[in-house]
């Protein structure tokens, strides 16, 4: 800020000689005053030629300010600006080259000398006194200290204060602009409606071009089903039957759209929360359904049957046969056949789905055209048929289910 760099320019202008300058940085070495070898360009050229070309390292050497000064026809001026920024050994290395008036290019072996009988270059060195220079170097220099005048100092301080204020204002404006950009980006992100899942649109609540505004509650734009090939069936289980239902049970169901087709399902969950409607308590069961052909659609009403237990090769009778009781005249004949069977109830043995092996139920069979009671032991039931586990009843026997006929 004091114009110390301009001294070298003024001297070169006054004597009408060339000026060669080097602006020192923290990484500058004394060799930068002499020359620079472009190692990267050399290896790149060698790689591009495949190693066949004979490359000259001299073609990759850039001459430095002191090299140009040694070869100048007239005594030049060399400016070394802000030497106090250089590494500690820089001043002594520079002093060695100036004393020898020559140096060697290490990569090519060439020696560069000051021309015979030519005066050495005039070297102008500037410093901000940020670091003290070596004493041997200082003894070889002529000093000229440029002082700040009070007016110039006040002007510089005021300019620095104004610059600091401008910088703070610019920084505040930058932060404000960044906040505005983030707000606009957030608004832009909200303007793009993205579906949370991939699937099939079941219902569209808006039309193209409609304005979507979210106030206290987010609006519903679309109803999407993720994958209709895998669906859930929500089934209401009566409280009397919920104890017999558990996860993993198989089930079959039908829908009104395909009344002749039966679909398979599996119980995957059983809710604990009850649902009461018209004094009827039910519990919700979740059934997993494979729908590879996509015949089933959301919202269909289904009638399901859950397989609580399975009995193979069982002897069964219609539940109506267990409820049947003949008129009094026929019942008298039955009493003469065995009074031990009188007074037995006509309800199917046990609870639905599991008769529990209860003894006491009886059937009425037709013997010589007259009804005769027969004690049986019941098992599982599906609501229409009941398993017969014990008794003298044989397969194919005729049992009475009503007044007007019999059923096998």
Mean pLDDT in the chain? 82
CB 371 within 8 Å of CB 333: yes
- Residue-level pLDDT at 143: 79
CB 236 within 8 Å of CB 282: yes
Q: What is the pLDDT of residues 74-132, one digit of tens each?
A: 889 999 888 888 888 888 888 888 888 888 888 888 888 888 788 888 999 888 877 88
Regarding whether 123 and 25 lie in a shared domain, the answer is yes
Q: Which of 251, 324, 245, 321 is nearest to 283 (CA)?
A: 245
In this structure, what are the phi and psi dihedrals at residue 11, rounded to the nearest 5 degrees?
Answer: -65, -45
Domain finish residue from 248, 273, 306 = 306
Regarding whether 325 and 360 lie in a shared domain, the answer is yes
Regarding whether 319 and 276 lie in a shared domain, the answer is no
Q: 383: domain CATH number?
A: 2.40.420
Regarding whether 119 and 27 lie in a shared domain, the answer is yes
In this structure, what are the phi and psi dihedrals at residue 333, rounded to the nearest 5 degrees?
Answer: -60, -35
pLDDT grade, residue 267 (50/70/90)? very high
| Rounded CA separation 406/408 (Å) | 7
Is residue 23 included in any domain, yes or no?
Answer: yes
Is residue 186 included in any domain, yes or no?
Answer: no
- Residue-level pLDDT at 148: 66
Is residue 148 included in any domain, yes or no?
Answer: no
| Rounded CA separation 220/230 (Å) | 24
Top-confidence residue, 51 or 204: 204
Domain finish residue from 139, 170, 188 = 139
Regarding whether 364 and 294 lie in a shared domain, the answer is no
Q: 62: domain CATH number?
A: 3.40.50.300
Is residue 207 included in any domain, yes or no?
Answer: no
Sequence-distant (6+) residues with CB within 8 A of 324 are 346, 363, 364, 399, 400, 401, 402
Q: Quick one: average pLDDT of 201-212?
A: 80
Is residue 183 included in any domain, yes or no?
Answer: no
3-class SS of residue 351: strand
Top-confidence residue, 79 or 213: 79
Regarding whether 358 and 280 lie in a shared domain, the answer is no
302 pLDDT above the threshold of 90? yes
Looking at the structure of the chain, the number of domains it has is 3
Is residue 33 included in any domain, yes or no?
Answer: yes
406 pLDDT above the threshold of 60? no
**What's the gap between Cα 172 and its chain centre?**
35
In this structure, what are the phi and psi dihedrals at residue 395, rounded to the nearest 5 degrees?
Answer: -65, 135
Q: Which pTM value belongs to this model?
A: 0.40
| Rounded CA separation 378/350 (Å) | 8
Is residue 211 included in any domain, yes or no?
Answer: no
Regarding whether 134 and 11 lie in a shared domain, the answer is yes
Is residue 80 included in any domain, yes or no?
Answer: yes
Domain finish residue from 289, 306, 323 = 306
Q: What is the secondary structure of 90-159 as a DSSP string?
A: HHHHHHHHHHHTEEE-TTT--EEEPPTTPPPPEEEE---SSSPPPHHHHHT------PPPHHHHHHHHHH
- Residue-level pLDDT at 22: 87
Regarding whether 332 and 279 lie in a shared domain, the answer is no
For the chain, percent of residues with pLDDT exceeding 90:
22
Regarding whether 106 and 20 lie in a shared domain, the answer is yes
Regarding whether 56 and 10 lie in a shared domain, the answer is yes
Q: What is the pLDDT of residues 328-376, one digit of tens each?
A: 655 444 443 332 222 233 333 333 444 444 447 888 888 877 888 888 8
Determine the structural domain holding residue 358 and report its residue range: 315-407
Regarding whether 393 and 330 lie in a shared domain, the answer is yes
Q: Tokens for 234?
A: 């929500």
Regarding whether 249 and 347 lie in a shared domain, the answer is no
């Amino acid at each position: 800020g004091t114009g110390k760099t301009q001294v070298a320019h003024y001297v070169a202008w006054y004597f009408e000689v060339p000026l060669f300058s080097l602006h020192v940085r923290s990484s500058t070495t004394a060799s930068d005053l002499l020359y620079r070898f472009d190692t990267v360009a050399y290896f790149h050229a060698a790689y591009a030629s495949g190693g066949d070309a004979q490359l000259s390292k001299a073609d990759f050497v850039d001459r430095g300010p002191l090299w140009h000064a040694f070869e100048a026809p007239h005594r030049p001026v060399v400016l070394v600006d802000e030497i106090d920024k250089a590494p500690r050994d820089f001043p002594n290395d520079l002093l060695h080259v100036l004393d020898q008036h020559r140096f060697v290019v290490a990569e090519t072996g060439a020696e560069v000398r000051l021309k015979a009988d030519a005066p050495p270059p005039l070297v102008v060195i500037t410093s901000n006194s940020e670091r003290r220079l070596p004493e041997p170097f200082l003894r070889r220099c002529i000093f000229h200290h440029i002082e700040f005048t009070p007016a110039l100092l006040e002007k510089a301080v005021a300019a620095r204060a104004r610059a600091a204020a401008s910088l703070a204002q610019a920084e505040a404006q930058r932060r404000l602009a960044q906040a505005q950009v983030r707000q606009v980006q957030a608004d832009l992100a909200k303007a793009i409606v993205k579906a949370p899942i991939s699937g099939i649109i079941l219902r569209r609540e808006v039309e193209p071009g409609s304005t979507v505004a979210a106030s206290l509650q987010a609006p519903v734009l679309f109803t999407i089903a993720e994958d209709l090939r895998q669906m859930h069936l929500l089934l209401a289980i009566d409280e009397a039957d919920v104890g017999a239902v558990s996860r993993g049970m198989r089930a079959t169901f039908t829908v009104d759209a395909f009344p002749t087709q039966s679909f398979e399902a599996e119980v995957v969950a059983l809710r604990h929360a009850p649902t009461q409607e018209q004094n009827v308590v039910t519990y919700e069961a979740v059934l997993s359904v494979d729908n590879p052909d996509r015949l089933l659609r959301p919202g269909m009403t289904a009638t399901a049957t859950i397989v609580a237990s399975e009995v193979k090769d069982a002897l069964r009778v219609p539940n109506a046969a267990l409820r049947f009781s003949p008129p009094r005249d026929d019942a008298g004949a039955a009493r003469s056949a065995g009074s031990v069977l009188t007074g037995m109830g006509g309800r199917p043995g046990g609870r639905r789905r599991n008769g529990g092996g209860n003894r006491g139920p009886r059937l009425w069979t037709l013997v010589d055209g007259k009804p005769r009671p027969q004690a049986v032991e019941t098992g599982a039931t599906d609501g229409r048929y009941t398993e017969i586990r014990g008794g003298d009843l044989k397969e194919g026997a005729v049992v009475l289910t009503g007044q007007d006929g019999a059923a096998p």
